[in-house]
Amino acid sequence: MEIKEFFNNKKVLITGHTGFKGAWLTQIMLNSGARVCGYSLEPNTKPSLFEALELAGKIDNHIADIRDLEKLNEVVTKFKPDIIFHLAAQPIVRDSYDNPVYTYETNVMGTVNVLEVMRLNKVPAGVMITTDKVYKNFEKDVAYKEDDQLGGYDPYSNSKACADLVVSSYISSFFNPKDYKAKHNTLVASARAGNVIGGGDWAKDRLLPDAIKAFLVNKEDLVIRSPKAIRPWQHVLEPLYGYILLAMHLYNGESDKVGGWNFGPNDEDMQEVEKVLQMLTGHLKHGKYVVEEDKGKHEAKLLKLDNTKSRTELNWIPKYDLSKTIKETAEWYEVFHLIKGDIKKFTSNQIESYFDNN
Ligand SMILES: NC(=O)c1ccc[n+]([C@@H]2O[C@H](COP(=O)([O-])OP(=O)(O)OC[C@H]3O[C@@H](n4cnc5c(N)ncnc54)[C@H](O)[C@@H]3O)[C@@H](O)[C@H]2O)c1
């Protein structure tokens, strides 16, 4: 299935379109000829990818709260999407310790609201974005599979596990694949990806944005907390490609595709924080970091995802290894911060070369 052929003129609603992954997804959809409606809060970083790509004027843009069911329903009723990608969330582990109630309201009730408007408006297909952190983490050297136990230590991870359970309940109760076409016309899946990196992320408390700010903007050393923590690093386009494939299968009525999907990198790219920093500083040719362990807020040390199901059943194969991922990311920030080049063109070129690389 050709992505451009499929999405041309499709109506796609993206929640969280003003964020890092949402802005990339919005640009991919625009490049594919889709009609895009976005529903999110204002961009929460300065700079922001959403503003750098000047997306507001190119889509049906709604700045509103995902917790507002009435408003969300009004937008969905009017736009009548073919597909919804739900990315809006409070996504930062450390912020979830400071604002647990807001994190649960946004991540859990936000997901309920999106599924509810899908039910009310009979939206054909939806991909709910959760995270690799939904699994109960035993800190063992095993990669989690889709039917492993859900859990989540901190409020962010736990709220996303709850969101995944909400998806599961809506599938069983309202969008059951065995009743597809007889009682309803909606297919829904949840997508769990790893630690996503790529140009255009300026969120705090994330390794790459913090490193870029330290090395390229403030020209200072970076302070890191857990040099030996292992994460499933991947370029932002990798999980987005997975979400897109999943949406295409669901929209085409493949009811066996409902449920959870892991879009994690290959085993060799699950690497220590320190290794990622060495590759980044190697590419930038400068940058130093110091370690200051933070014992206050628990964060998982070891987290691996098993991507066998997505590889075999969706034919989703990670295209970039860690070295290419770091290179693409570092080049993006160099164009933005140092060269001050045409970032809209550069971003579209990165998208085109990723999707051409089949
Ligand atoms: N970045 C990663 O490494 C990563 C990894 C796994 C999963 N995820 C998930 O991917 C999704 C997108 O993450 P991101 O990295 O782009 O985050 P981000 O912080 O850049 O974007 C979050 C988006 O959600 C919107 N949002 C937040 N609270 C909202 C609310 N109350 N109402 C409406 N909109 C709201 C923001 O406006 C923004 O558009 C999230 O669901 C996140 O949990 C991200």
Residue 123 within any structural domain of the chain = yes
Q: Output the pLDDT for position 292.
A: 85
- Between 325 and 194, where is the model more confident? 325
Residue 196 Cα to ligand 1 midpoint, Å, equals 12
Residue 283 within any structural domain of the chain = no
- Domain of 110, CATH number, reads 3.40.50.720
Q: Is the CB of 193 under 6 A from ligand 1?
A: yes
Domain that holds residue 17: 3-198+234-265+301-322
- The predicted-structure confidence for 169-197, as pLDDT tens digits, reads as follows 999 999 999 999 999 999 999 999 988 99
The ligand 1 atom nearest the CA atom of 197: 3
- The predicted-structure confidence for 235-294, as pLDDT tens digits, reads as follows 999 999 999 999 999 999 999 999 999 999 888 888 899 999 999 999 999 899 998 876
Residue 181 Cα to ligand 1 midpoint, Å, equals 32
pTM flag (> 0.95): yes
What is the average per-residue pLDDT within 79-107?
97
Q: Output the pLDDT for position 301.
A: 63
Helix (H) or strand (E) holding 243, with range, is helix 237-251
Q: Output the pLDDT for position 137.
A: 86
Q: Running DSSP on this structure, what letter comes out for residue 218?
A: S
Residue 129 Cα to ligand 1 midpoint, Å, equals 9
Q: Output the pLDDT for position 297.
A: 67
Q: Is 138 a residue whose pLDDT tops 80? A: yes
* Number of structural domains in the chain: 1
Q: Are 283 and 330 in contact (CB under 8 A)?
A: yes
Token pair 């939806």: residue = 126
Residue 229 within any structural domain of the chain = no
Residue 329 within any structural domain of the chain = no
Q: Is 89 a residue whose pLDDT tops 90? A: yes
Residue 44 within any structural domain of the chain = yes
Residue 290 within any structural domain of the chain = no
What is the average per-residue pLDDT within 112-130?
98
Residue 285 Cα to ligand 1 midpoint, Å, equals 31
Q: Are 266 and 318 in contact (CB under 8 A)?
A: yes
Q: Output the pLDDT for position 102.
A: 98
Q: Is the CB of 88 under 6 A from ligand 1?
A: yes
Write b or e for each residue in 255-293: b if 16 or more Cβ atoms lie within 10 A of its Cβ, otherwise e. eebbbbbbbbbeeebbbbbebbbebbbeebeebebeeee
Q: Is the CB of 235 under 6 A from ligand 1?
A: no
Strands, E, within the chain: which ranges? 11-15, 35-40, 60-63, 83-86, 125-129, 143-144, 187-193, 195-197, 222-224, 230-235, 259-263, 270-272, 289-291, 304-305
Q: d(Cα 325, Cα 308) in Å, to the nearest integer? A: 21
Q: Output the pLDDT for position 86.
A: 98
Q: Are 45 and 32 in contact (CB under 8 A)?
A: no
Q: Is 151 a residue whose pLDDT tops 80? A: yes
Residue 345 Cα to ligand 1 midpoint, Å, equals 24
Token pair 């370690």: residue = 291
Share of the chain above pLDDT 70, in %: 97
What is the average per-residue pLDDT within 222-237?
91
Q: d(Cα 241, Cα 323) in Å, to the nearest integer? A: 19
Residue 21 within any structural domain of the chain = yes
Q: Output the pLDDT for position 296.
A: 64
Residue 334 within any structural domain of the chain = no
- The predicted-structure confidence for 94-111, as pLDDT tens digits, reads as follows 999 999 999 999 999 999
Q: d(Cα 176, Cα 183) in Å, to the nearest integer? A: 9
